[in-house]
A = this chain, B = another copy of it.
């Protein structure tokens, strides 16, 4: 079933749902999903509406013309997407390929509503499996401690993002810190997987930190990347039990499964147009 998805947020006011659903009804929309959330603290309303394209009286251009005045009157930010036009995704990776292989397999069986436009990495090893699935591989020169190679890498990624029209960048265990300059230029959301239950164990070697502290549960966190490292809005988290029997290596192993699961859930939620950011928090309609 082809659907259209409207994702919007606006200052809380009476009649937001009635007006937007009334507008859609005027043009014959058959709603499949309607999600609403009112954040009482910030007094903001969030809406996600999904309806069948068949029988709906507006295309993308005429929707814009007809809806923009209404949205504007409500101070609304909004995006309209069509399920028939899947997003394009770019992936960055370093040496460890478990999140990468997990994502590429999901693309290969059609589980994610998107196509993978390229994978770029600063280690050569993952290139082979990327080529197996016939996805373009970009070899990045980035080396830790070498600012020049890093700047060149970011330039290559920016160029690929623009060339391919990529709409989401996924850091699938990419171990280089992305710069503020890159983030301000790339202009699309960037999702990262951090291998701890944030805000616990920020920074490097979180599994070592977790082992030292003697926690009984470890976690993983997928979040949008902002200039503040490990402080971006959280999209998805999950945890797994550990015990005194688990060494740091066991934590790393158990963590890999978490990282795959949590990153893929966040990527899927974003690509299904289920996530709206509100400052440092997220609304995830799932």
- Contact residues of A with B, CB < 8 Å? 14-19, 21-22, 24-25, 28-40, 97-98, 101-102, 105, 109, 111, 128-129, 132, 197-201, 212-217, 219, 233-239, 243-245, 247, 253, 256-257, 261, 280-284
Contacts and interface: CB of A to CB of B under 8 A. Distances in A.
Contacts of A284: 216, 243-244
A209 to B, nearest CB: 9
Contacts of A22: 18, 21-22
A32 B16 CA distance: 11
Contacts of A237: 215-217
A243 B132 CA distance: 36
What secondary structure prevails in chain A residues at the interface with B?
mixed
A189 B198 CA distance: 30
Minimum-distance CB pairs A-B, first 5: A214-B281, A18-B25, A34-B36, A200-B200, A18-B21
22 contacts: A14-B25, A16-B31, A18-B21, A18-B25, A32-B38, A32-B40, A34-B34, A39-B244, A101-B101, A102-B105, A111-B256, A129-B132, A197-B197, A197-B200, A197-B217, A198-B213, A198-B215, A200-B200, A212-B280, A214-B282, A216-B284, A244-B282
Nearest to A29: B14
Given A25-B15, A31-B17, A215-B198, A244 B281 contact: yes
